[in-house]
Amino acid sequence: MIFTNLLYQLEAETGILTITINRPDKLNALNAATIEEIRAAAQQALEDPAVRGIILTGSGEKSFVAGADIAELTKLDEVSARRAAERGQEAFALLEKSSKPVIAAVNGFALGGGCELAMACHMRVAAENARFGQPEVNLGLIPGYGGTQRLTQLIGKGKAIELLLTADMVKADEALRLGLVNHVVPQAELLSFCKQLLTRILTKAPLALGLCLDCVNAYYDKDRHGYQTEAESFGRCFSSEDFREGTSAFLEKRPAVFSGK
């Protein structure tokens, strides 16, 4: 697919895909077309065996995603707004449920839909100038792309409610203290840090990485049983080539070479 609002860059030698929200004149704000491209890019990445891990970021040094395209929102009614929320949730869920690790490299403002997009990723690394927030109540709205759910999961009910109701912005160091982000680094080091972290993760068994992610997601899925999913996934590992390679490498005191099978 040819993308208009995204940059889709795959490093063939590492298998690391960088997806960049590229609407710098709009501070990378999310409109319907961009959300559809995020969905398509995520689906393409999941289906491409050459992609082993994903970094999601925004263009420039000021904004990851500054929020939704407000002008577009004013044209919606109750029915179309609900469908827009559902489309956003579906797109972001592809990232959250990805069997390949996804890191958000938050290079600036992550507000509204931008904060929701970052939270849908498996991990978040923030530049020192990053700012997070869900300011929707200032517009007479609430988050619609999963923000009420994921913010609560990440930082707890009480603090999530405070941030949702006050619309306060959180600086990077406070986001780290709350558990909203995993690391805070200087802006100039953001992408290189994310690539180093992802490269280290990608030395592990691909099947096991995907199963870990699935088991964690099962905890939050009301239609699944987390402990049962974990037991089933643990058993599945024992029939994999990766398990045989990993245990053999350990016993033979050599680095493992995993196939993802």
Select which of 72, 136, 230, 241 is catalytic.
136
Pick the CATH number of 206-251 from 3.40.50, 1.10.3470, 2.60.40, 1.10.12: 1.10.12
- How many Å apart are CA 82 and CA 65, to the nearest integer? 21
Residue 45 pLDDT > 90: yes
**Type of residue numbered 214:** D
Distances (CA, A) of 134 to 151, 160, 161, 179, 252: 9, 10, 10, 16, 51
Q: Check 36, 90, 116, 230 and give the catalytic one.
A: 116
Q: Following DSSP, what letter does each residue of 24-91 receive, concatenated?
A: GGGTT-B-HHHHHHHHHHHHHHHH-TT--EEEEEESSSSEEE--B-HHHHTT--HHHHHHHHHHHHHH
pTM across the whole model: 0.95
Number of separate helices (H) and strands (E) present in the chain: 11, 10
- Indicate if the alpha-carbon torsion angle 102, 103, 104, 105 is positive or negative: negative
Q: 123 - beta bridge partners?
A: 103
Q: Which CATH superfamily is domain 6-201 in?
A: 2-enoyl-CoA Hydratase; Chain A, domain 1 (3.90.226.10)
Is 116 marked active-site?
Answer: yes
As annotated, the residues of the chain forming the CATH 3.90.226.10 domain(s) are 6-201
pLDDT of 223-238, one tens digit each?
A: 899 999 999 999 999 9
pLDDT at residue 59, rounded to an integer: 96
Domain with CATH 1.10.12 in the chain: 206-251
